[in-house]
Amino acid sequence: MNQHRLKKLTNALTESGLDALVLNPSPSLLYATGLHFHLMERPVIGIFGADGRVGLVLPELETAKLNGLDIDAFPYGENPATWTSVFKKAFDAFDLNGKRIGVEPLAMRILEYRYLQASAPHATFPDATETIASLRMRKDTDEIANMRKAVEIAQNALEATLPKVKIGVSEKEIAAELVMQLIQHGSMSPFPFQPIVSAGPNSANPHATPTERKLQAGDLLVIDYGAMVNDYVSDITRTFAIGEIDDEYRKIHEITQAANAAGRAAGKPGLPAGVVDIAARKVIDDAGYGAYFTHRTGHGLGMEGHEAPYMRADNQRILEEGMAYTVEPGIYLPNRNGVRVEDDMIITKDGAESLTTLPREIRVLG
């Protein structure tokens, strides 16, 4: 366990008026303990007291992971009928009944929540998302180095994939090649998300899943993907032209690229996160395509593909040095084609740096 992080977490709990924090297997549990647990049918929870004590309720077969760590273990056997009493024992040992126990609604399941409620029937379970996000958002040097590496690997993997992109090759085939190149170039697994490879009308769906559809002349091709290094991720999108494309498609790419540039230039310590969205969106609005930019401009990035801060016009959160996020405007013409250009940014002392350095101009392939 990283004692420095644990100390910061303990302080943050006290500042938030929480008596404890309870986490199930999630990036936050990994951040707080350095331990990997599977999210599965056997519940695992970490208990973090505002006094600095740490406990884990976990299956007996996982206890080997705790060797040498200053963690109170509450192991249980294979029969679910016995688990309630083990949770109760742990909650009693931390004296949690009647207390304010922070939880992460984005990660904790009803499975764990019902054990919590049964073990501390008079406790309240306020949302601790902000408390944890306030720690995880500001990346330290090691975290940024991992993200930089995750970007570098992803960029090299995409360049190695492009020679296979040709008319007649399917979205699925390109996605499989990209996955292989990501691993060969040093990405660890799991990836932050499964690559999106969407062409032609599928590119108008921002969250498409690769299909058997084969590339055709005139398609736009959107590739949105990322790598993972030591639990930190990258998330990049580039859009390509397959042969000769419609003039309007070329135009929406130019507009999106300009919006991406405006979004990248807008981030700065001391400004609200919303400025990034406002800057990128203005370019697309002014060009008359505002109705076709149907999502926020970006999201935070780190141990998760989506995390705070979120780049929405109404987000008043103040940007600080070390915060990491994407800038990914897009224009999607329904039932026709779509474009997205996405970079990974870090807030620096006096501005924002793009970790991504791949060319942003539309490249013609096929």
Least distance (Å) between residue 330 CB and its own copies: 9
For residues 242 and 251, is the Cβ–Cβ distance under 8 A? no
**176 contacts its own copies (rule: CB under 8 A):** yes
**110 contacts its own copies (rule: CB under 8 A):** yes
- 73, 93, 97, 193: which one contacts its own copies (CB under 8 A)? 193
Least distance (Å) between residue 244 CB and its own copies: 25
Give the range of 4-12, 101-109, 148-156, 320-328 binding its own copies by CB under 8 A.
101-109
- 306, 321, 336, 351: which one contacts its own copies (CB under 8 A)? 306
**91 contacts its own copies (rule: CB under 8 A):** no
| Measured distance CA(239)–CA(199) in Å, rounded | 9
**320 contacts its own copies (rule: CB under 8 A):** no
Q: How far is CA 106 from the centre of its chain?
A: 12
- 17, 98, 105, 270: which one contacts its own copies (CB under 8 A)? 105
Question: What are phi and psi for residue 52, nearest 5 degrees?
Answer: 95, -10
Q: How far is CA 142 from the centre of its chain?
A: 17
364 Cβ contact partners less than 8 Å away, ≥ 6 residues apart: 240, 241, 242, 243
H/E element, 159? helix 141-161
Give the range of 4-12, 88-96, 188-196, 346-354 binding its own copies by CB under 8 A.
188-196
**191 contacts its own copies (rule: CB under 8 A):** yes
Nearer to its own copies, 7 or 38 (CB): 38
Partners of 239 in beta bridges: 222
**7 contacts its own copies (rule: CB under 8 A):** no
Measuring CA to CA, how many Å separate 155 from each of 41, 132, 140, 226?
37, 30, 23, 9
**79 contacts its own copies (rule: CB under 8 A):** yes
**What is the x/- site pattern for its own copies, positions 236-275, by CB under 8 A?**
----------------------------------------
212 Cβ contact partners less than 8 Å away, ≥ 6 residues apart: 170, 171, 172
51 Cβ contact partners less than 8 Å away, ≥ 6 residues apart: 10
Q: What type of residue is 359?
A: P
Which residues lie near its own copies (CB under 8 A)? Answer: 36, 38, 40-41, 59-62, 64-65, 78-79, 103-111, 113-114, 125, 176, 179-180, 183-184, 188-191, 193-194, 204-209, 294-296, 299, 305-307, 310, 312, 314, 334
